[in-house]
A and B are shown apart, each in its own frame.
Chain A
Amino acid sequence: AQSVAQPEDQVNVAEGNPLTVKCTYSVSGNPYLFWYVQYPNRGLQFLLKYITGDNLVKGSYGFEAEFNKSQTSFHLKKPSALVSDSALYFCAVRDVRGYQKVTFGTGTKLQVIP
């Protein structure tokens, strides 16, 4: 079985400060890892993914995430938060072997305070 944990229901950060949204995962084999963002009354939008290679993955809107195999983590980061980054963020995982559905976390609400 595979699972994702997002330990924080909400993260508050001041505009201009760095932000981190935490994610840990569990899979039997090696993972594919994803981050998605959901703005109010909108569907989920793909931000970035880790497949293989560099542990630091860069994505849309200045976001990046670091894959840490030993800690089974894939935290989302941004050096300087914008008010427009306020949204719901989902981490997701799937096993690289065969077909496995993507499993999503429960989401973390990011609030950037002006």
Chain B
Amino acid sequence: GAGVSQSPSNKVTEKGKDVELRCDPISGHTALYWYRQSLGQGLEFLIYFQGNSAPDKSGLPSDRFSAERTGGSVSTLTIQRTQQEDSAVYLCASSLGDRAGGYTFGSGTRLTVV
């Protein structure tokens, strides 16, 4: 696609429910990243994919968080048993994979856990 597409744009869920967030990167971008943006906290790295593998999962905050990427394209971030502290904007970015490249970000999914 022309840009990085994320869905849904907004998600309100009850505490304890599971949620899935989707990212569709730019076609041909081999690298995909998930970040979390909380008010006043900047961007917190979650996970990095190169193709379908995730060489860096160091930012996932707990084992309730997982992500996968299939076909070297679409990625899904899953949060199980959501907690109120999971409320944030979840941003996905993709790049060509060259180390010096900048990222192209999606518009994000605003998750609110009530």
Contacts and interface: CB of A to CB of B under 8 A. Distances in A.
A43 B33 contact: no
Interface stretch (B12-20, B70-78, B96-104): B96-104
B3 to A, nearest CB: 9
B99 A44 contact: no
Given A44-B91, A106-B42, A101 B106 contact: no
A94 B42 contact: no
Given A43-B107, A106-B42, 14 more contacts: A32-B100, A34-B102, A36-B102, A43-B91, A44-B91, A44-B103, A46-B104, A49-B102, A51-B100, A96-B100, A99-B56, A101-B48, A101-B58, A107-B42
Interface of A: 32, 34, 36, 41-46, 49, 51, 90, 94, 96, 99, 101-107
Given A43-B4, A49-B100, A104 B105 contact: no
Interface residues of B, number: 24
Contacts of B41: 106
20 contacts: A36-B105, A43-B106, A43-B108, A44-B93, A44-B103, A44-B105, A45-B105, A46-B102, A49-B102, A51-B100, A90-B42, A90-B43, A94-B99, A96-B100, A99-B56, A101-B45, A101-B59, A104-B42, A106-B41, A107-B42
